[in-house]
Structure 1
């Protein structure tokens, strides 16, 4: 019987899981569903979807009673945070007070970072939050449908094409504030699953990808959503790193800091932080 797994079609995920999907390392036979984390977050919250899924770290407070965090295969990093963009360059963040902001999800690390930044930098608070698909946000900012947009993924490398201005790199803000990497995407497995050795084959797949980077290129580009080869490679370089191989002390500290602060501010439900390591 095949092991069912869901991860995104983004280059970092296809790069990481290529070897496992195609049997190039010792791994169970996989049946893959390609889905962005805005879908898998809600599948997991409803106990739907495959046993193993890629979700946002920000969704874990809703999930940890039913799912276990796998300490590899995910995405944490430095210099890879979401961006706050505006149509015209603003002199200071407080100019966004009371304004209409587009975000890609309300259960994402990007959103939690944004809310924590707003609390610190915009004491008067912002106005309406509009959730829309991430690929529609930059056009909405450019066309004046919203006053600012929170962007993720390859938008880090393409926002200049829309003549937009960078107000804040939330990754830089987070790293300066905490000294920790940014927790983005997590791999989880249902706690009632009988699957064993998940960490081993994911780590083997990551290592194979690093040792044979050219092997996954066709697979990555097939699912790269019309990205150029250069943008796809930049995506991989940012999001596949030592934390993809092993979360480690800094990785766990980053997740605990983000979710602990978000819980204190009421952006996520109360939950037991110790479940992150169990």
Structure 2
């Protein structure tokens, strides 16, 4: 709903070679938001698919900021938020489709729970099945141990064996969480400013986790509601699987180094090393019959020094 009245939310979409998906995201955003006054700003990270021009043509009322270089997700959001004055910022991925009333419900939820500071909703896949990746718990020594040995994968529905994913929880109730994922994340402008936005060192992945954990350090408790739901077509702008794995692992190492007690950091990094080592060793017998898997883990293992250091 774009009106002449002052907007209360700035919806920030950072796009990268996702022109048609971004157009769909914007279309569903406007079609399914009935009560909330909002502005929509798209920051295009030097896409090569003519994204900026296509989005401008499809939505003349949407502000499109086209960068001549890919500055990353964190810096792009910081840039838009720094030039916006609405009470709330909603970070929305370009590969999402907003369901009816989702943004309205999320904003109402935020107003009812101001002490949460950061709010998120439920995400589903295109087929309507639950996508658990709308929120996570902070990694722990227990979760890293179970992950390294495949226990969390075997017992996905166990809250004990799969704690990072809140195993067994269908995201069907209101709940405090450690991390709201940046695909659908609402935050108040005062808190965003207090935190200084995203840390720019988190070029891709982990910036939302770091933001939520820094907010937690100030006494806020991020919260989820099932009443705000979107479809998330995961990973549309990161197609190289080994590159994505390396970036995710780099972010996880950074979260451990930035947010764990010092005495836990060494064992945590060692468990990450063990996780990759076990998968690399396990993939070697399948080098011929499962070439893609073997090549994937060979590439991840070869660059272990890079991702174990995390973001500097």
State the TM bucket, normalised to the shorter chain: under 0.3
Q: TM-score, normalised by structure 2?
A: 0.21
Q: TM-score, normalised by structure 1?
A: 0.22
- Structure of greater relative contact order (alpha carbons < 8 Å, 6+ residues apart): 1
Whichever of the two has the greater Rg, that structure is: 2
